[in-house]
Amino acid sequence: MAVAFGLLLLAAAAASLAARRIQARRGQPAAYYDVEGETMRFARHRAQCQGLAMEFFSTKEALAQAARQRGFDTVFSFDVLEHLPDLPGELRFLSSLVSPGGLFVFDVPAGSTKAHPMHLNHNLNVLDFMRSRGFKDERGALLRLPLRKEEKFVFRAPKSGEIGE
């Protein structure tokens, strides 16, 4: 797949910042989306110190405009969606950013636990929701184990001309 714009990463975790830097080091354009704050400042600082060319976005409007102009071949979202109240709305928005045939990789931990009381329980069948938008489940066997809670997802966007929502 030819890179139209590259990678978009939505994340609060340090591991995700590392993934974004790796992508930029490989020469693929990379972008980062987060609210303005300490994490965004840290991400900008690290990119500047390492000489990585990356675009930073802090509004959905600017991000959607970039997607319309260039598209994103891959969208990653880790440790984010479980904190947002409108999971269907966020999945709808993020999946709209993925270029035809591109990948949307994300996690949605299922609800609040003693260790993570700030996680929301969305009661959404993510597989059915994404399939209704024309996305194809691309998870490997390890992420599909029957006794394992489904929290990690990999979906391929429909190619141009394929039917989606």
**CATH at 89:** 3.40.50.150
Q: How far apart are CA 72 and CA 74, in angstroms?
A: 5
Q: Is residue 2 domain-resident?
A: no
pLDDT recorded at residue 124: 83
Mean pLDDT of 144-148: 65
Q: Amino acid identity of 36?
A: E
Q: Is residue 164 domain-resident?
A: no
Q: Is residue 163 domain-resident?
A: no
Q: How far apart are CA 114 and CA 78, in angstroms?
A: 20
Q: Is residue 92 domain-resident?
A: yes
For residue 85, pLDDT beyond 50: yes
Q: What is the pLDDT of residues 21-47, one digit of tens each?
A: 566 566 677 788 887 888 888 888 888
Q: Of 29-43, 99-113, 114-128, which range is least confident?
A: 114-128
φ, ψ of residue 102 in degrees (nearest 5): -80, 180
Q: Is residue 31 domain-resident?
A: yes
Its domain, for residue 147, covers 7-156
Look up the pTM and report it.
0.79
| Per-residue three-class SS string for the chain | CCCCCCEEEEECCHHHHHHHHHHHHCCCCEEEECCCCHHHHHHHHHHHHCCCCEEEECCHHHHHHHHHHCCEEEEEEECCHHHCCCHHHHHHHHHHHEEEEEEEEEECCCCCCCCCCCCCCCCCCHHHHHHHCCCEECCCHHHHCCCCCCCEEEEECCCCCCCCC
**Which tokens hold the place of 95?**
């999946």
Q: How many domains does the chain have?
A: 1
Mean pLDDT of 4-14: 48
Q: How far apart are CA 53 and CA 135, in angstroms?
A: 30
Q: Is residue 144 domain-resident?
A: yes
Q: How many CB atoms lie within 10 A of CB 69?
A: 9
Q: How far apart are CA 107 and CA 151, in angstroms?
A: 5
Q: Is residue 38 domain-resident?
A: yes
For residue 94, pLDDT beyond 70: yes
Q: Are 29 and 23 in contact (CB under 8 A)?
A: no
For residue 6, pLDDT beyond 60: no
Q: Is residue 96 domain-resident?
A: yes
Distances from the Cα of 24 to the Cα of 35, 40, 124, 158, angstroms: 21, 16, 33, 25
